[in-house]
Structure 1
Amino acid sequence: MKKPELLVTPQSVEHVKALLEAGADAFVIGEQKFGLRLAGDFTVAQVEEATALIHAAGKKVYVAVNAIFHNDRLDALDVYLQEMQRIGVDALVFGDPAVVVAVRELGVTIPLHWSPETIATNWFQVNYWGERGSKRSVLARELSLDEVVEIKENTEYEIEAQVHGMTCMFQSKRSLLGNYFLYRDEAMEIENRKENKNMFLHDKERKNKYPIYEDLNGTHIFSPNDMCVIDELTELFEAGIDSFKIDSVLQTFDYAVTVTNLYRQAIDAYYEQGEDAYEEIKDGLLEQIEAIQPELRPLDTGFIFKETVY
């Protein structure tokens, strides 16, 4: 049985080096102009530098071009895709069909990974995009474990699922949301934490804080908890999920490195020593994550074991 890829989202070239040492197999990087919710903003030169490091270690680099493209960005997209072809990255992560068209017209041969955020919810979609050149589909974070497994059972294409980190609940092309909640009887407050360069929406009734991430693509609001399934990986292993993603957006440098190493231990224990070995260490791995988890970001298992209510 093939090991799942351990996919991470580095913040910088230096972070790439540390995550390689921690055991990462693949990296999602890119530039805010073309990719959504990136942990770090990589220029073309930095993508080239990171790619050289990653390939020297025998690992893979995927570049995010999953922004929502308007007409005024298409020419720049063409140039960017040609640069990625020159550099020789291993895949392009896309959501907009404009990327598929551009790749074909430009003769770009980089494999595609379909990542449409919340709408990758069934195997018909996975197979549809697979038949149109997408080697992999990145599933919606709102799916249950049963749904993830069912999709994998009904497709021949690669499946990527998130196992750790924040999950996005809302995106707006607008850069400010202060007036958005004024319709509420109790408007949420926006706290601008300049030192940490992020913001939170405060929901006093539920005692939750929702992180806000802003980039050139607008405003993104995340869930109040961090997803963590390091002690619940067995069924994902058995299903043959191809890639486990750790999203380190808004996390610290060291936190991402530590979590990556702990998931590396979990994967290696299962595939090199067997299920019993994983079962013996999984609770201890979870405890180590709980020990470094920010107080404002309690852990949960996302939607893996609960139904999404729309």
Structure 2
Amino acid sequence: MKKPELLVTPTSVDDIIPLAQAGADAFMIGEQRYGLRLAGEFDRAAVAKAIELAHDHGKKVYVAMNAIFHNEKIAELSDYVSFLSSVKADGIVFGDPAVLMTVREVAPEMKLHWNTETTGTNWYTCNYWGRKGAKRSVLAKEINMDAIIEMKEHAEVEIEVQVHGMTSMFQSKRSLLGNYFEYQGQSLEVSKSKYEKNMYLHDKERGNKYPIFEDENGTHIMSPNDICIIDELQDMIEAGVDSFKIEGILKSSEYLIEVTKLYRKAIDVCVEDPDQYEDLKTDLLEEIEKIQPDSRPLDTGFFFKETVY
């Protein structure tokens, strides 16, 4: 069996070397002007430095350009893609065809990962974007394990699956928090509220707290639980899924490093000795549970249940 890539979203440039040493194979970074729901803000200088450090350690860096683009940003895309090509980014993550078309014109050698977060729900759609130029498709978080395996069997592109961390439940381009506070006669600075970790929508009936933040792309409401399937990787590894993603949004660097170490161990053991992984996987889950914040219960997301739209 081949080893899937272990992809992590770091919070800053300072995370790159520790996460590389912890076992990450690749990183996804970017700035909110062009990318959605990133674990940290990486301006151009930070992108260049992160790529340099990662490459020095034999790791890859993919840069997010998966925001929802309106007319006023289209003229900027060419310059940003040229910059990413010049600093030798290993790939660009996109959802909008405007990015794909720009890359074709400006940096046709650049690897493209298609990621709209919600519409990667069948292998035919994945292959459609592959035939348009994408080398990888990122699957929706709302599909189950059987569907993931079936999609990999039919895919003509690499397949990426999130295996750990929170997921997005809602996005609006509107400044919902800012508008609410303004309505209440209060002022709210939202430009940096993305990094405020104590803002929630509280569902008292179900006992859930949904993290909420605003950035340049609007308002984001996140899941009350964290996905964790460190003990359920074997079927996807055997199917040949190409990349497992650890989502670092609203997580500390220390937490990300420890989780990365545990998933590195899980992947290596599962590939090299599946029987040992079977014996070890419960212990790996217990290790993550020890460092998991009390406010963020672990669950298996939609991996073992059907989504009803």
TM-score (norm 2): 0.93
- 1:78 equivalent in alignment to 2:102: no
- 1:255 equivalent in alignment to 2:266: no
More displaced 10-residue stretch of structure 1: 130-139 or 106-115: 106-115
Shift of 1:196: 4.4
- Specify the code of the residue in structure 2 equivalent to 1:126: C
Report the 3-state secondary structure (helix = DSSP H, G, I; strand = E; otherwise coil) of the residue aligned with 1:47.
helix
- 1:130 equivalent in alignment to 2:96: no
Shift of 1:18: 1.1
Partner of 2:287: 288
Q: Is the 8 A contact 1:10 1:40 kept in 2?
A: yes
Could you say if the C-alpha distance between residues 171 and 236 of structure 1 is closer, same or farther in structure 2, counting changes exceeding 3 Å? same
Partner of 1:211: 211
Shift of 1:178: 7.5
Structure 2, unpaired ranges of 5+: 181-192
Report the 3-state secondary structure (helix = DSSP H, G, I; strand = E; otherwise coil) of the residue aligned with 1:52.
helix
Aligned equivalents of 2:224 and 2:115: distance in 1?
A: 23
Aligned equivalents of 1:289 and 1:84: distance in 2?
A: 35
Q: Is the 8 A contact 1:66 1:94 kept in 2?
A: yes
Report the 3-state secondary structure (helix = DSSP H, G, I; strand = E; otherwise coil) of the residue aligned with 1:210.
strand
Partner of 1:171: 171
Shift of 1:76: 1.6
Structure 1, unpaired ranges of 5+: 181-192
Aligned equivalents of 1:12 and 1:196: distance in 2?
A: 16
Partner of 1:15: 15
Shift of 1:241: 0.4
Q: How does 1:148-163 map to 2 (within 5 A)?
A: 148-163=148-163
- 1:69 equivalent in alignment to 2:59: no
- Specify the code of the residue in structure 1 equivalent to 2:277: Y
Partner of 1:183: none
- Specify the code of the residue in structure 2 equivalent to 1:265: K
Q: Is the 8 A contact 2:197 2:211 kept in 1?
A: no
**Percent identity at matched positions?**
61
**Pairwise CA RMSD of aligned residues?**
1.6
Partner of 2:200: 200
Could you say if the C-alpha distance between residues 152 and 30 of structure 1 is closer, same or farther in structure 2, counting changes exceeding 3 Å? same
Q: How does 1:233-244 map to 2 (within 5 A)?
A: 233-244=233-244
Could you say if the C-alpha distance between residues 20 and 227 of structure 1 is closer, same or farther in structure 2, counting changes exceeding 3 Å? same
- Specify the code of the residue in structure 1 equivalent to 2:304: F
Report the 3-state secondary structure (helix = DSSP H, G, I; strand = E; otherwise coil) of the residue aligned with 1:119.
coil
Aligned equivalents of 2:242 and 2:198: distance in 1?
A: 32
Q: How does 1:1-150 map to 2 (within 5 A)?
A: 1-150=1-150
Deviation string for 1:52-111 (max 9, x for gaps)?
111111111000000000111112221111100101111100000000111122244211
TM-score (norm 1): 0.93
- Specify the code of the residue in structure 1 equivalent to 2:305: K
Q: Is the 8 A contact 2:81 2:107 kept in 1?
A: no
Could you say if the C-alpha distance between residues 30 and 58 of structure 1 is closer, same or farther in structure 2, counting changes exceeding 3 Å? same
- Specify the code of the residue in structure 1 equivalent to 2:306: E
Deviation string for 1:262-301 (max 9, x for gaps)?
00000111122x1011112111111111011111110000
Shift of 1:40: 0.5
